[in-house]
């Protein structure tokens, strides 16, 4: 392809530059407003963790079938569940107890109960802090996911990854602070990882597992030399500065220029970070990449490790949406409405080995101590049956797990009732989870604010309590 010679319109420059472009001489512009910067910033206090990998189990995994063992529920199978509300979830439930169809056993020195959905992850319970008393307000996937990620169940608010990018910046000038790995978009779409009203500099790099290229269009166009690219970018910079000078400070334009600069630098750094051919077969197999059932999630978890290893602050990995036994593709993989046994068995096969492999790999590299791995979904599932063998959504109770990054291993915080229907002891709302996560990264959630429309906003709104009991 022969590129046109100058002069070019601003629109044409944007079209031909693509993602593999960036401005070069932007130091004076980029230093104007530290809030717009991606450079590393100091935390409020000494952090426990340097980075986060959040394994987001889209669809709402059942706590009473994974990590919250309820002997009474097993005994009362088919009996009436006192206090059950058939409209707790999204559909209608029977009001009759449904025993877990999985086998349970205790593991580790902590004696933590885990079902056989997670036989490999169970070997790491002594590195896990279990928060059993989580609850949410929303009872459907999109709003509950946004509530968990952004503190609000409606779109337009910054999510955790964006807040971390804003509060801490990046430790690597050639990679973004916030990366998302997914295949089909989960319910809630961009609202789960949006920067909201924060400067667009803090939006994530989205990596689609279905693409042949890890990052689309990161390579320069055919025939594009470095000198020619630099010349085009310099002219683009001058056009943008002239545009801004005539109209005053434009944060979105500044953020766009920054994105060009980062994209230019990523041309070499990003492909190297995501090149799994550099890993040994032993390491790949540790993540389950030799097993078709979990290869997709394993690949993403390994990418996540490589990214945090290179200084990325926050990597959010969404559970794969493909089914193993059912064959159907769903964007809510843990959503076991009709058959909890088949659904959770499949999801366990897709995620157990990669989850365990990630923890083992981080530990053997001495990275687990300062990498916080989070496992959990947007809500739990009902203790009473839906369609005789399934469970509906349950916003009243679910389990979230913290591993490494300053979390106390083998600790169990909070409790649900004897059937696992509702959180009843040391209840934890989404703002408490967010406050705790920020704390482990060295940020005071009450001081991490951004002024928007005349008001100082924060991730935790006007709530949030740090769960000190799960922090070492």
Q: Does one domain contain both 248 and 162?
A: no
Same domain, residue pair 313 and 191: yes
Same domain, 119 and 93: yes
Query: In sequence order, what DSSP letters do the residues of 432-460 get, joined into one string?
Result: HHHHHHHHHTT--TTT--EEETTEEE-TT
Does 88 fall in a domain? yes
What CATH code is carried by the domain that includes residue 324? 3.40.720.10
287 lies in the same domain as 268: no
434 is in which domain, residue-wise?
42-214+281-470
Please answer whether residues 126 and 320 qualify as being in contact, where contact means their C-beta atoms are separated by less than 8 angstroms: no
Distance of CA 94 to the CA centre of its chain: 33
Question: Is it the case that residue 10 has pLDDT exceeding 50?
Answer: no
pLDDT band at 124 (very low <50, low <70, confident <90, very high): very high
**Is residue 210 located within the same domain as residue 230?**
no
Q: pLDDT category, 125, cuts 50, 70, 90?
A: very high
pLDDT at 28 (0 to 100): 35
To the nearest whole percent, how much of the chain has pLDDT over 70?
81
Least confident of 15-29, 231-245, 308-322, 415-429: 15-29
Task: Say how many C-beta atoms besides its own lie within 10 A of residue 100's C-beta.
Answer: 24
Task: Verify that 46 and 18 share a domain, yes or no.
Answer: no
Question: pLDDT category, 254, cuts 50, 70, 90?
Answer: low
Residues 311 and 182 in one domain: yes
pLDDT in tens, 255-268: 666 666 666 666 66
Is the pLDDT at 217 greater than 70? The verdict is no
Q: Are residues 268 and 409 in the same domain?
A: no
Based on the structure, what is the number of domains in the chain? 2
**Single pTM value for the model:** 0.86
Residue 454 exposed, middle or buried by CB count within 10 Å (0-12, 13-18, 19+)? exposed
Secondary structure class of 236 (helix, strand, coil): helix
Distance CA 382, CA 100 (A): 11
- Return the DSSP state at 312: -
User: How far is residue 199 from each of residues 63, 100, 166, 371, 450, measured CA to CA in Å?
Assistant: 37, 46, 8, 26, 10
What was the pLDDT predicted at 218? Answer: 53
- Inside any domain, residue 37: no
Clarify whether residues 241 and 373 are in a common domain: no
Instruction: Please indicate, yes or no, whether residues 146 and 87 belong to a single structural domain of this protein.
Output: yes
Could you tell me if residue 391 is inside a domain?
yes
Is 130 buried (19+), middle (13-18) or exposed (0-12) by CB count in 10 A? buried
341 in a structural domain: yes
Q: Is the pLDDT of residue 19 over 50?
A: no
Residue 183 maps to a domain: yes
Indicate the angle between helix axes 141-150 and 430-440, nearest 10 degrees. 40
The answer to whether residues 364 and 269 belong to one domain is: no
Q: What is the pLDDT of residue 465?
A: 98
Q: Which residues pair with 80 in a beta bridge?
A: 96
- CA distances to 98, 103, 319, 375 from 263, in Å: 51, 49, 27, 30
Task: Assess whether 264 and 155 both reside in one domain.
Answer: no
At 272, the pLDDT band (50, 70, 90 cuts) reads confident
User: Average pLDDT for residues 419-425, to the nearest whole number?
Assistant: 98
| Cβ atoms of residues 44 and 382 within 8 Å | no
**Does position 110 have pLDDT exceeding 80, yes or no?**
yes
In a domain, 128, yes or no: yes
Confidence band of 274 (pLDDT split at 50, 70, 90): confident
pLDDT value for 216 = 55
Determine the pLDDT at residue 261. 63
Cβ-in-10-Å burial (0-12, 13-18, 19+) of 341 comes to middle
Half-sphere exposure for 402 (CA within 13 Å, toward CB): 35
């Amino acid at each position: 392809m022969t590129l046109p010679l100058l002069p070019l319109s601003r629109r044409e420059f944007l079209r031909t530059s693509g993602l593999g472009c960036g401005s070069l001489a932007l130091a004076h512009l980029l230093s104007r407003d530290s809030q717009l910067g991606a450079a590393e910033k100091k935390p409020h206090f000494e952090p426990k963790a340097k980075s986060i990998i959040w394994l987001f189990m889209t669809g709402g995994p059942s706590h009473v079938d994974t990590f919250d063992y309820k002997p009474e529920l097993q005994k009362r199978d088919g009996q009436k569940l006192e206090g059950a509300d058939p409209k707790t979830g999204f559909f209608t439930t029977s009001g009759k107890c449904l025993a877990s169809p999985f086998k349970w056993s205790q593991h580790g020195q902590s004696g933590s109960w885990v079902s056989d959905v997670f036989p490999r992850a169970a070997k790491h319970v002594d590195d896990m802090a279990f928060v059993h008393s989580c609850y949410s307000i929303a009872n459907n996937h999109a709003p509950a996911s946004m509530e968990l990620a952004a503190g609000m169940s409606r779109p337009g608010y910054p999510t955790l990854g964006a807040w971390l990018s804003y509060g801490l910046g990046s430790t690597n000038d050639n990679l973004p602070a916030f990366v998302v790995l997914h295949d089909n978009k989960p319910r809630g779409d961009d609202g789960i990882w949006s920067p909201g009203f924060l400067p667009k500099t803090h939006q994530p790099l989205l990596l689609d597992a279905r693409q042949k290229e890890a990052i689309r269009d990161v390579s320069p166009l055919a025939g594009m030399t470095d000198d020619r690219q630099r010349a085009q970018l310099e002219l683009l910079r001058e056009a943008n500065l002239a545009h801004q000078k005539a109209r005053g400070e434009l944060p979105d334009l500044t953020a766009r220029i920054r994105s060009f600069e980062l994209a230019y630098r990523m041309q070499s750094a990003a492909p190297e970070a995501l090149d799994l051919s550099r890993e040994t077969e032993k390491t790949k197999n540790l993540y389950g990449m030799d097993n078709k059932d979990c290869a997709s999630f394993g690949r993403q978890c390994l990418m996540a490790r490589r990214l945090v290893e290179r200084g990325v602050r926050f990597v959010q990995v969404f559970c794969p949406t493909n089914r193993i036994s059912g064959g159907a593709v769903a964007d809510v993989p843990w959503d076991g409405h009709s058959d909890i046994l088949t659904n959770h068995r499949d999801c366990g096969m897709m995620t157990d080995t990669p989850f365990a492999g990630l923890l083992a790999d981080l530990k053997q590299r001495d990275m687990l101590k300062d990498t916080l791995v989070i496992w959990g979904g947007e809500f739990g599932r009902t203790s009473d049956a839906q369609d005789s063998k399934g469970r509906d959504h349950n916003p009243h109770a679910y389990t979230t797990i913290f591993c490494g990054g300053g979390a106390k291993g083998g600790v169990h915080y909070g409790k649900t009732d004897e059937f696992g229907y509702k959180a009843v002891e040391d209840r934890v709302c989404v703002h408490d989870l967010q406050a705790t996560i920020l704390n482990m990264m060295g940020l005071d959630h009450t001081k991490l604010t951004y002024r928007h429309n005349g008001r100082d906003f924060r991730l935790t709104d006007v709530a949030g309590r740090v769960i000190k009991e799960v922090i070492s």
